[in-house]
Amino acid sequence: EKFEDDTTFLRGFLREEWVGKSLDSPHIMKVLPRRENTQFYYHVCEYIEGQSLRQWIIDNPSPSLDSVRRIVKQIIVALRTFQRNDMVHRDIKPENVMITTHGEVKLIDFGTVLVKSLLETGEQTHEDYPVGSVNYIAPEFLIQNHSDFRTDMFSLGVIVYEMLSGALPYKPFKYKDYIPESANEFHYQSIKQYRSDLPAWIDICLKKATQPEQQKRFNALSEFEAALDNPKDIVATEKRPPLIERNPVLLWQWVSAVLLVIVLLQTWLLSR
C-alpha cells in the first residue's frame, strides 16, 4: 500500500524516526541514520535478538516476583527517558517490549508517541488510540484522548499484572471498538483470584498503578518501582477505604437496620 499522498502517515513515520534517533537509552530501540538523498522513506533499526514480552509471558506462566521486577525496572528506565524528553509512548503492551538473549529489555514501536513540543506547535495532532491495544490503554487516553506519563504507568501496571497472572486487571469490553463513557466502567479484579500465593501488598500496588482515575495513581514512575520493592511503604501509604467503597451493600444493610430500630422505637413510644 502506498502512502505518498497521506501527509498524516508521512508525518507520523518521520516523527517515529526522529524519536528513535533522539532518545538515548539502552532500553529503547535505536533508529539508525539512513542514506542521504534517497527517494524512499524507511527506517533502519538496531537488530534485537531475543523474544517479545508476549512470548516471555507464554513461556513463564507463574514467574517469581524477582524475575518480573528485573524486567519492569528496565521498562521504567525507558519510560523515564520518554518522560524527561516530554514524550509519552502511549502504546505500552507486551508486543512492544523485547527481551534480548542476555536479558536486556528494549522498548520498541514509536508510531503513537506523543511529543508535547510538537503538539504545542501544531506539528502533531491528537490521534486515535492504537488499534488492538485497548486492554492496555488508560481510560483518559481511550475516552478523552489525553495522556501523560501516568498513561504509560497504567499500561505498565496492566503488563505487570498479566506477567504475574496471565490475566488482565479489567475485564475486556464486549466489543473491540467499544469506547466507555467514563472511568466508572472499569472494575478492578484482585490478582489474588489468579495467584493466591502472591502477597496482598502486590494487589494494593497494582490496583494503585492501574487506577482508572489518573490522579489516584502513583505520583511518579519511581514510586511505582519503589512500591514493587518495599511492601511496607505501599501498605503504610494506603489508607483503608471507607465502608461505602469496600462494601456498599453491607453499609446500606446497617443503615436500614438502624432506621428500622428507630422506627420501632418511635412506634413503641407512641403506643404507650
Confidence of residue 162 (pLDDT cuts 50, 70, 90): very high
Confidence of residue 50 (pLDDT cuts 50, 70, 90): very high
Dist CA 159 CA 206 (whole Å): 10
* DSSP strand pairing (114-115 vs 50-52): unpaired
For Cα atoms 90, 154, 136, give the angle at the middle one, nearest 5 degrees.
65
Mean pLDDT over each residue of the chain, to the nearest integer: 87
pLDDT on residue 28: 97
**10-14 mean pLDDT:** 77
Predicted local distance difference test score (pLDDT) of residue 119: 67
User: How many whole angstroms separate alpha carbon 89 and alpha carbon 219?
Assistant: 18
Nearest to 135 by CA among 108, 154, 113, 111: 154
Decide: helix, strand or coil at residue 266: helix
**Residue 252's pLDDT is what?**
76
Q: What percent of the chain has pLDDT over 70?
A: 85
pLDDT at position 147, please?
A: 92
- Residue 215: the pLDDT is 96
pLDDT bracket for residue 34 (50, 70, 90) = confident
3-state helix, strand, coil in the chain (%, to 5): 50, 5, 40
CA 234, 238, 240, 244 dihedral sign is negative
Mean pLDDT within 32-48: 82
Asked whether residue 243 carries a pLDDT value surpassing 60, the answer given is no
How far is residue 13's CA from residue 9's CA, in Å, rounded to a whole number? 6
Tell me which residue of 20, 29, 114 sits closest to 75, measured CA to CA: 29
* The pLDDT of residue 78: 98
Beta strands in 90-224, from DSSP E residues, in sequence order: 97-100, 105-107, 114-115
Domains in the chain, start-ordered, CATH in brackets? Answer: 51-229 (1.10.510.10)
Helix (H, G, I), strand (E, B) or coil at 32: strand
- What mean pLDDT comes out for the span 34-39? 76
Cβ neighbours of 17 (radius 10 Å): 20
pLDDT at 249: 72
User: Contact, 167 vs 148, CB < 8 A?
Assistant: no
What confidence tier does 106 reach under pLDDT thresholds 50, 70, 90? very high
